[in-house]
Amino acid sequence: MSGKAKEVVRRGSGNIFADLGMADAETHLLKARLVSRLQSLIEGRGLTQAQAAEVMGIGQPDVSRMLRGQFRDFSVERLMRFLTAFGCDVDIVIQEKGKKAKAETIRLAPAAE
């Protein structure tokens, strides 16, 4: 052999947080997806971080931290409320495994003005 270590390539699980062995990996993935959607909304509307912060009712430094991946301190509920502040409906679907016909949907909608 040439002395090089053989590289091992493993297929990911679809959850990078689980692959890295992080606690609460499913929650981290959910938060990352919610933040990704928020970022798409902010960019799609051409908002500055300060303008986005005003919509969400938080400070610009919090928006900056969140968009840089530092969202551990934001709860899933709070991130969902940020989405509703942007006018999005957020649906939570509850169903038993293997029983798709018996799903219950809970909707978090923007407040009526």
DSSP state of 34: H
Q: What is the pTM of this model?
A: 0.78
52 band by pLDDT with thresholds 50, 70 and 90: very high
- Sign (positive or negative) of CA dihedral 65, 29, 46, 58: negative
Residue type, 76: V
Which residue ranges make up each domain of the chain? 16-108
pLDDT 10s digits, 60-88: 999 999 999 999 999 999 999 999 999 99
Residue 113, pLDDT score:
57
pLDDT 10s digits, 87-105: 999 998 888 887 766 777 8
| Closest by CA position to 66, among listed 45, 94, 55 | 55
- 16-108 CATH, one of 3.40.50.1820, 1.10.3720.10, 2.40.33.20, 1.10.260.40: 1.10.260.40
More confident: 23 or 87: 87
